[in-house]
Structure 1
């Protein structure tokens, strides 16, 4: 999602400067590649790049083709075969061993251009689906490109009637919104089209409870990832916006006032680092019944055990699911000592949990790193 946010921001800046742009999207990968389907890059006519479609080996050639797309105002499907010797000689085979299909679209002045759909995803704040339609078999046919955005609230479509597969695409987008699993679908007819039906996850919302000095590096690392950060503390001399310039919100609140001031969803992660036992005891009494995906508690394991015992003695029944979603001590075991290293361990654990991964070294992963779209 951060890449999409960066592209939207860069497009707005380019528009203000009167620059023409094109959008390059990795729409399908056969075999292995540095970036998977869904990777995007905005290209301006003067060569500025935002986002990435590879580890750097494809960008130069994509820039040249994007300038042609901007000039002709027609979308172009480009295929790089990094297993081919000729492509390797051009320098596009570094670190890859697959076939990469990239669609390059001109961004016109029309209100329903592809960036409009990306903006809808950014503003949505929840799960969304983007559909990119292209023809591999007939590269001279109309390449509709980024043509549909589906959210829980609405659907925005462009060029679908010309493709002839409008209802199929809407049905498939609804399916992906439900399963939250991207798909590659093929539609046969007068023109055979392939659709990349992409599930877009919302931005992770990180709520840091505790505005001490050790919370500062946590906000910095989370901000690099583009997370939506809120810092909360009951002390008005700590919860100051100037101490946390990267946070979207800085709130002064007691435990019983906190939940009314934040929005929660399945991508919300809490980290409790107030160093105040009673504050965190009261807050966990509020948080545990909400079945949040991640609640991290800074401090030794004995502290967490004492809090859980006190909660149960106060009449709270703690379920197995609630315990599974409570991470204390917080963070992955990477040998952290400093506040910066602890912040790194926390962010890595949150990312692993919300991605349903175990946080082990990729060296020991028995299958491919990336799950393939169907």
Structure 2
């Protein structure tokens, strides 16, 4: 996921400042089932520190051991990890371990792409066997630029390729600044979402009140910047003011977030939608159908923390087009 990749990038920059080399481990193939699917990565520092994880914790020790070989030789390698006899996951992991030393141009290009919230592709080249090869490795495809994560050109002839589309980070816009907004911000940030807090200019709040938030916007509803909303954006109305919620809902009426939630009971939602339609009778039906209220899944939530979990669970289900059920009742695999 993009937020995990961003953490790896930041970690690599930190290691470079300290003069430390880093190695990237990527799960590029899988037979059977595993804790995580191909596309997960971790960065290992030469001093033993690491960022990210590719499993529940059992595979990382072996990856760290084999990473030391890559540090010593500079040659990428594929390691296989048979979880059928160790983890009980009934799967075989194929992990690409490669030196991580992108060029300065790579970092500049990636920063531009992230700011513009554009997707890009990440390709990893390998053979499906325990082996090492100077041409194993990964590269990011930024439109016309193909930039290796090793800082050198790769010859991918006759190699398998794992292709992954890296979409922009999910962002959550929380309109409101009460205690429950702080809790929701905390949980969303922990899940890797980029959080924006929207408050009234009259409120004496700043970003320090919302640990983990990327930015805070103090703006009246009529001036709300809906241009920042894209298909990877979820919005939750939680001002605890009916009048404010209505004004913000009207301001949002020409936007199409992936999820739009409101707090409060069903009667409040119906009243809100009724008044919304009186002010905006030409509103798009798709916009109205995307309003989720009361926001959240019914998990018996009572505390602000539990409510935050309930809301984030519904947002994830909507964004990933899943109908929430107990995993024990799922007939297919967990990741299907």
Same fold (TM over 0.5): yes
- Unaligned 5+ segments in structure 1 are 165-191
Matches within 5 A, 1:205-354: 205-259=171-225, 263-354=228-319
Q: Give the aligned partner of residue 29 of structure 2.
A: 28
CA distance in 1, matches of 2:229, 2:311: 19
Contact 2:77/2:130 (8 A) holds in 1: no
Deviations for 1:95-144, whole angstroms, at most 9, x for unmatched residues? 3111110000012475478x888767655523221111112269354433
Change (3 A) 1:225 1:156: same
Higher deviation after alignment, 100-109 or 123-132:
123-132
CA distance in 1, matches of 2:180, 2:272: 22
Aligned counterpart for 1:135 among listed residues 108, 127, 132:
127
User: By how many angstroms is 1:20 displaced?
Assistant: 1.4
Matches within 5 A, 1:103-118: 103-108=96-101, 110-111=103-104
Deviations for 1:225-259, whole angstroms, at most 9, x for unmatched residues? 12111111215334322312321211211110112
1:195 aligns to what SS in structure 2?
A: strand
User: By how many angstroms is 1:46 displaced?
Assistant: 1.7
CA distance in 1, matches of 2:172, 2:211: 15
Change (3 A) 1:120 1:163: farther
Task: Note if 1:364 corresponds to 2:293.
Answer: no
- Unaligned 5+ segments in structure 2 are none
Change (3 A) 1:315 1:117: closer
Change (3 A) 1:117 1:367: farther
User: By how many angstroms is 1:2 displaced?
Assistant: 2.4
Deviations for 1:211-233, whole angstroms, at most 9, x for unmatched residues? 11221101111111121111112
CA distance in 2, matches of 1:341, 1:219: 13
User: By how many angstroms is 1:58 displaced?
Assistant: 1.2
CA distance in 1, matches of 2:185, 2:202: 18
Q: Give the aligned partner of residue 93 of structure 2.
A: 100
Deviations for 1:10-38, whole angstroms, at most 9, x for unmatched residues? 11111111111110000001100111101
Contact 2:262/2:269 (8 A) holds in 1: yes
2:36 aligns to what SS in structure 1?
A: coil
Between the two proteins, the alignment pairs up a number of residues equal to 332
Q: CA RMSD in A?
A: 2.4
Deviations for 1:74-105, whole angstroms, at most 9, x for unmatched residues? 0001112223xxxx3xxxx2131111100000
CA distance in 2, matches of 1:57, 1:35: 12
Contact 1:117/1:149 (8 A) holds in 2: no
1:313 aligns to what SS in structure 2?
A: helix
1:28 aligns to what SS in structure 2?
A: strand
CA distance in 2, matches of 1:288, 1:222: 24
Higher deviation after alignment, 279-288 or 73-82:
279-288
TM-score by length of 2: 0.90
Change (3 A) 1:20 1:248: same
Task: Note if 1:200 corresponds to 2:166.
Answer: yes
CA distance in 1, matches of 2:135, 2:291: 48
Task: Note if 1:77 corresponds to 2:78.
Answer: yes
